[in-house]
Homo-oligomer: A and B are copies of this chain.
Amino acid sequence: MSFNTFGRVFRFTTWGESHGPAIGCVVDGVPSRLSLKAEDIQFWMDRRRPGQSKFTTQRQEPDAVEILSGVFDGQTTGTPISLMIRNVDQKSKDYGDIAERFRPGHADYTYHMKYGIRDYRGGGRSSARETASRVAAGAVARKVLEAAGVKIRGALVQMGELSIDRRRWDWDEVERNPFWCPDAGMVQTFEDYLLAIRKEGSSVGAIIEVVAEGVPVGWGAPIYGKLDADLASAMMSINAVKAVEIGDGFSAATLRGEQNADEMRKSGGGVAFQSNHAGGILGGISSGQPVVVRFAVKPTSSILTPVQSVTASGEEVDLITKGRHDPCVGIRAVPVGEAMMACVLADHFMLHRAQQG
């Protein structure tokens, strides 16, 4: 069923709960002789790590990755790579009051009804903490993609009602602000907006865009292994994500055929597309243009405003979720979206090789 496994030939399995001793993943199918050190992975972990700015949860987790297998003398050996991240700052007391109460918007109620038991501490398995394992797996995927020259970057393009101005897009700016915002002109606006929301004990949603450049034409596959179908599954599996689009996405529904056409001209020995409405994917296969994915993250469900709920024993309650929460969990979804893009592409890179004679 692969409920906790993602991918076909580049595959990873994640495990662990928010407040257990550790979380981690096993990455299988990795080609041998790739240079890989814990620091290579740590670099990406540090980008997702909580507690780095006043806009993310104050949980202090070093998120130090240990490589337990699959690497020898600094190189991958082709055997499964087991990565472990110890949970350090668990503060279980914070969460004791949710043992019985179902937090609306969280998986408390559904886990309870499905499994009859749940590790309620910090959301247990359904915590966004699981995404640290994805980032670790994504770091390995990036190593696989290095040979192909693929570059993956993500950015936050909308927070609540506020959108960036795409004409001011600057990838360098993304690294300079705590929102992964590519529009320098919106950084202060986002900051003021989010501080106000946090002050109110509220939260807000966001839209993230991830772009992969350098993907050659031909990766992906018809029909149920389409590159875009795999990306949709990958992004939708991230906590709090409610929507995914490729290229123009929902806007494509409003277009005429001639507006949506990505016209082609000759260019050197190849082809130059005149636009990229398709987001770099045609018929499930990469076209050689940048692969563009956007996804929506709902507002953090844990807020200080009381919401109506019920308890496991059937009592009605008004619930306030204290604890250390991100006012906009979408921010930390940026490195996670990048990681999932990397995993999908590494998988299809390898699958493509399998079929080439």
Contacts and interface: CB of A to CB of B under 8 A. Distances in A.
A250 B296 contact: yes
Nearest to A23: B69
B3 A222 contact: yes
Contacts of A297: 252-253
Copies in the complex: 4
A158 B141 CA distance: 38
A107 to B, nearest CB: 2
Interface in A47-88: 66, 68-70, 72-73, 75-82, 84
A interface, how many residues as a size bin?
A: 35 or more
A109 interface: yes
Contacts of A109: 217, 264, 271, 282, 287
B207 A250 contact: yes
A24 interface: yes
B262 A104 contact: yes
A197 to B, nearest CB: 7
A245 B246 contact: no
8 contacts: A2-B28, A3-B224, A16-B69, A17-B69, A68-B84, A110-B282, A126-B283, A353-B353
A189 interface: no
A61 B229 CA distance: 28
Given A69-B23, A258-B303, A264 B309 contact: yes
A235 B80 CA distance: 21
